[in-house]
């Protein structure tokens, strides 16, 4: 199954540097083979990620056997190592890797969840997911819609009043009761002292985790939180490669790691991270887990499957699974079960 074509487009208009969360730098990757199959994946890095694919990865991959998914990952990583190792290069590799996995599922006639489960039984048809809200009222409304796990996105900045976050979270807990799983996301906005003050104010709210209180490069700060926080610390969505997650887990810098399949190196690296989590006793809960790229792994190999609800920035991917009653349902279509656009601004079809 030789590769005959590798292409990448930017499916949505690029936002400004200040509003990257509205489009996430996503790129749509297509890999075609001589037998007529097309595999689809999503990576990151915007136009820069596309440049890596078009100038480096494409010439490496053309003519290669598409079934060598893991070894092709190694070759792509070695090729981009002089200027890569993390960031945009690995985001580009992520999209190609996911497309190669999509081809594997289509070749075998099975959804990726079935490929990963192998002979260990059928993966569940539905996975519990959690909804994120940006206000106490939004989180409470999501709880009323059947979500039993919810996250409050706290936009707290250093030197702001801790009560701006602590009071709404306590209100959510009081409204929803003790049985709903509740998390908070600080979005990398705090320093260590502010994070510790917030953690102290949140004691009694029974949080599953506090997500990304510090910037990802502040490893020393995370060591301090590890030693002092009674609330589990989550993070890692901006990390790349299993090697980087090995550091986070070996040093217990995060109690929960959150790799993003479209940024960390694709499904190949996500599977390695899951194995590391099992070895280290650290929970893995992928970022944007209800998007199709990580969902199949969550359904097939996660001992406590929980998927983060998707956001509007992925609506251009048609065939995404439905979310209802607090669960996301997988389909039985071979591969990832989606089809991506071939031209900028075009939607895809299921299949």
Catalytic (active-site) positions: 287
Closest of 66, 57, 156 to residue 106, by C-alpha: 66
Largest separation between any pair of C-alpha atoms in the chain = 61
Q: Is 317 exposed, middle or buried (0-12, 13-18, 19+ CB in 10 A)?
A: buried
What is d(CA 121, CA 140) in angstroms, rounded to the nearest whole number?
A: 37
**Helices 192-202 and 163-176, packing angle to 10 deg:** 30
| Alpha-carbon dihedral sign for residues 153, 158, 164, 169 | positive
What is d(CA 21, CA 141) in angstroms, rounded to the nearest whole number?
A: 23
Please name the helix (run of DSSP H) or strand (run of DSSP E) that holds residue 225, with its range, or none.
helix 219-228
Q: Is 252 exposed, middle or buried (0-12, 13-18, 19+ CB in 10 A)?
A: middle
DSSP string, 38-98: EEEEEE-SHHHHHHHIIIIIHHHHTTSBTT-HHHHHHHHHHHHTTT-SSHHHHHHHHHHHH
Q: Edge to edge, what strands does the sheet with 38-43 contain? A: 3-9, 27-33, 38-43
Tokens 């490496």 map to which residue?
A: 60
Alpha carbon of 30 to those of 97, 113, 247: distances in Å? 10, 20, 32
What is d(CA 349, CA 346) in angstroms, rounded to the nearest whole number?
A: 10
């Amino acid at each position: 199954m030789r590769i005959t074509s590798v292409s990448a487009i930017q499916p949505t208009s690029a936002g400004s540097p200040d509003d990257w969360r509205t489009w996430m730098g996503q790129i749509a990757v297509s890999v075609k083979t001589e037998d007529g199959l097309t595999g689809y994946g999503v990576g990151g890095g915007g136009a820069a990620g596309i440049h890596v694919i078009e100038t480096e990865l494409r010439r490496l991959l053309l003519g290669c056997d598409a079934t060598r998914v893991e070894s092709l990952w190694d070759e792509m990583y070695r090729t981009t190592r002089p200027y890569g190792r993390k960031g945009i290069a690995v985001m580009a590799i992520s999209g190609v890797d996911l497309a190669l996995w999509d081809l594997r599922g289509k070749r075998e006639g099975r959804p990726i969840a079935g490929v990963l489960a192998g002979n260990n039984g059928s993966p569940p048809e539905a996975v519990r997911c959690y909804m994120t809200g940006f206000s106490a009222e939004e989180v409470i409304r999501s709880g009323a819609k059947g979500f039993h796990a919810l996250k409050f996105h706290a936009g707290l900045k250093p030197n702001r009043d801790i009560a701006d976050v602590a009071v709404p979270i306590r209100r959510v807990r009081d409204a929803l009761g003790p049985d709903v799983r509740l998390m908070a996301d600080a979005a990398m906005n705090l320093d260590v002292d502010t994070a510790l003050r917030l953690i102290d104010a949140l004691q009694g709210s029974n949080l599953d985790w506090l997500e990304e209180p510090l910037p990802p490069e502040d490893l020393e700060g995370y060591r301090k939180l590890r030693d002092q926080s009674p609330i589990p610390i989550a993070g890692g969505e901006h990390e790349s490669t299993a090697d980087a997650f090995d550091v986070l887990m070996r040093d217990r810098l995060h109690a929960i790691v959150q790799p993003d399949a479209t940024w960390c190196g694709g499904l190949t690296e996500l599977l390695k991270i899951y194995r590391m989590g099992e070895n280290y006793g650290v929970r893995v809960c992928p970022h944007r887990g209800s998007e199709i790229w990580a969902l199949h792994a969550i359904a097939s190999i996660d001992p406590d499957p929980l998927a983060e609800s998707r956001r509007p920035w992925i609506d251009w991917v048609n065939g995404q699974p439905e979310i209802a009653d607090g669960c996301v349902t997988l389909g039985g279509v071979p591969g990832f079960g989606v089809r991506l656009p071939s031209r900028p601004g075009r939607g895809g079809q299921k299949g």
